[in-house]
Structure 1
Amino acid sequence: MFPTPIQRTSRATQALYRIGLPLALLVWLLPIIAVALTSIRGQGDIASGNYWGWPSQWQIAQNYGDVFRHTPILRYIGNSFLVTVPTVIGAVGLACLAGFALGVYRFKGNLALFFLFVGGNFVPFQILMVPVRELSVQLGLYDTISGLVLFHIAFQSGFCTFFMRNFIRDLPYELIEAARIEGASEWQIFRRVVLPLVRPALAALSVLVFTFIWNDYFWATVLIQGEHAMPVTGGLKSLNGLWVAQWHLVSAGSIVAALPPVAIFFLMQKQFIAGLTLGATKG
């Protein structure tokens, strides 16, 4: 049922594994390596077609300095935080409440409602572009940070509810019954019994949603037009000049834009792994 550990396979399979794994890792890292090299090379290298070779001009300080001095990337990064942080709080908070209701209470239509949350994740978001844009215009939310936050919360709530409901449902139901016998209200059970037990899952879900929203490009360009509310993913395209492509600045800006989610992941790595492995073993 489970794959055989590599230590128990044949020598030929182990040799193939040792050769294939570094090659696959290198292929996976090639785009990141290309962006990193482009971010530290001069524009002359790019103009001459030196995309993959060793940089003939090292402009690390100049390229990254120009990104902060001559482009509005700090504003874009600030906008990304203004979009991402409220979305994480809103989506995870709603998911905890919905997951508690679907995972603890037994009522008619529970499973159908849960499938409704799950089914929303399979709807291609591209087909929703036109109606969502029209709705945002009618509600006065187009080209605003608050509008982007509300739509992100709506789209992420389905996945987050699916995630939290499964974790809450795996909790020992006897703990909830014991709390009710002691006279605890449903809100007290949720806040003092359930939430402390699913804290690792909350951390893992928060990291996932933070990464999803921070890296979003589609809705950032569909619902936002002006620089005043543009997240960093959509704002990177403006780092190019009007007539001359400044790929060294775009690459440097991309590296800077990738740092916050990477930092969040490493800061919460233990909680993230604990959340993903919660309930993986019994006993």
Structure 2
Amino acid sequence: MFPTPIEKSPRSWQLTYQALLPIALIFWLAPLIAVAVFSIKPDVDFTQGNYWGVPSSFEGVANYGKVFLESDMPRYMLNSVFITVPTVIGAVALSCMAGFALGIYRFKGNLLIFFMFVAGNFVPFQILMVPVRDLTLDLGLYNTKTGLVLFHVAFQAGFCTLFMRNFIRQLPFPLIEAARVEGVAEWKIFWYVVLPLMKPAIAALSVLIFTFIWNDYFWAIVLTQGPDAQPVTAGITSFNSQFRAAYHLMSAGSIVAALPPVAMFFLMQKHFIAGLTLGAVK
């Protein structure tokens, strides 16, 4: 039923695996390597068609200097922070409370409400483009960071609640029963008993949602425009003009935009892996 671990495979297959793995890794990293190389090339290389050759000169310092000092990239980065951080806090907080209610309490309609959260994950987000945009216009939230935050919190609530509810269902229920016998209020049970046990799941979910929201491009261009509210993913396109595209600056901006989620993952790697694997082994 399950594939044989590579350690137990024949020696010939192990050698083949070890030989093919670096090649597959290079192909997988090829786009990122290309963007990194483009970011240190001068503008003249693109006008002369030197896309994949060795840079005629290394202009990494100049390109990244222009990105930070001669463009709105710092403002776009700050917008992404103001959009992503509140979204992560809001989505995780709501999902913790909803997951606690759906995972601990038994009431009529529990499964129906849970299925409604799950069903929202299967709705193609592209079909929501027009109604969501019209809603933000009616509420005066179009082209605002607040509107983007509220939409992301609402849209991520389904997946986050699914994640948290299933995690809470795996917690030892006798702990909650013991707290109730001692007369502890329900909100205190959630705050002092359940929430501390959810730290690995909160860390794992925070990393996932941070990555999802930071890398979002579709809703960034649908609900915002200009440097007042656009996040960095949409702001990178500002390096394009009507008759000319500054690919070297776009590449440098892309590398800069990719650093925060990468740093977030490595900082939270221990908790992230613990949250994903907790409960997998008895």
TM-score, structure 1 normalization: 0.97
Name the structure 1 match of 2:198. 198
Q: Which residue of 1 aligns with 2:52?
A: 52
Assess if the C-alpha contact under 8 Å between 1:39 and 1:63 holds in 2: yes
Q: Which residue of 2 aligns with 1:159?
A: 159
Question: For residues 245 and 57 of structure 1, what CA distance do their matches in structure 2 show?
Answer: 19
Q: Which residue number in structure 2 is paired with residue 272 of structure 1?
A: 272
Does 1:247 find its partner at 2:242?
A: no
Residue matched to 1:33: 33
Cα deviation, 1:39-66, whole Å, max 9, x if unaligned, reads 0011111222222222121001100001
Q: In the alignment, which residue of structure 2 is the partner of 1:218?
A: 218
**Residue range with higher mean Cα deviation, 225-234 or 150-159:** 225-234
CA distance in 1, matches of 2:98, 2:166: 11
Shift of 1:241: 3.3
Q: Report the CA distance between 1:161 and its aligned residue.
A: 0.2
Match of 2:16 in 1: 16
Deviation at 1:195, TM superposition (A): 0.6
Pair 1:189-2:189 in alignment = yes
What pairs with 1:48-127 in structure 2 (closer than 5 Å)?
48-127=48-127
Q: Which residue pairs with 2:175 in the alignment?
A: 175
8 Å CA contact retained: 1:34, 1:51: no
After alignment, is 147-156 or 239-248 more displaced? 239-248
The ranges of structure 1 where at least 4 consecutive aligned residues each deviate by more than 6 angstroms after the TM superposition are none
Partner of 1:146: 146
What residue identity is the alignment partner of 1:203? A
Superimposed CA distance per residue, residues 224-275 of structure 1 (whole angstroms, 9 cap, x where no aligned partner): 0122001000110001233221100000001011111111111111111111
Q: Distance in 2 between matches of 1:72 and 1:227?
A: 7
Deviations 1:184-238 (A, max 9, x none): 1110000000010010100000010000000000000000012200100011000
**Any gaps of 5 or more consecutive residues in structure 1?**
none
Q: Structure 1: which amino acid aligns with 2:48? A: S
Give, in whole Å, the separation in 1 of the partners of 2:48 and 2:32: 21
CA positional deviation for 1:115: 1.2
| Distance in 1 between residues matched to 2:226 and 2:244, nearest whole Å | 22
Partner Cα distance (1:181, 1:53) in 2:
72
Q: Secondary structure in 1 aligned to 2:44?
A: helix
Q: Secondary structure at the match of 1:33?
A: helix
Counterpart secondary structure, 2:242: coil
- Letter matched to residue 53 of structure 2: G
Which residue in 1 is equivalent to 2:128? Answer: 128
The aligned amino acid for 1:104 is: I
Shift of 1:73: 0.2
* Percent identity (aligned): 67
1:18-51 Cα offsets, whole Å, 9 max, x none, are 2222121111101000000000011111222222
The residue matched to 1:40 in structure 2 has which SS? coil
Partners of 1:239 and 1:73 in 2: CA distance: 10
Distance 1:60 1:46 in 2: 15
- RMSD of aligned residue pairs (Cα, Å): 1.0
Which residue type is aligned with residue 48 of structure 1? Q
The TM-score, its normalising length taken from structure 2, stands at 0.98
| Structure 2 unmatched runs, 5+ | none
Q: 1: CA distance between counterparts of 2:89 and 2:74? A: 23
Distance 1:92 1:78 in 2: 21
Q: Report SS of the residue matched to 2:129.
A: helix
The amino acid of 2:225's aligned partner reads: Q
- 1 CA distance for matches of 2:23 and 2:185? 57
Contact 1:240–1:249, Cα closer than 8 Å, also in 2: no
Letter of the structure 1 residue corresponding to residue 157 of structure 2: S
Residue 142 of structure 1 deviates from its aligned partner by 0.8
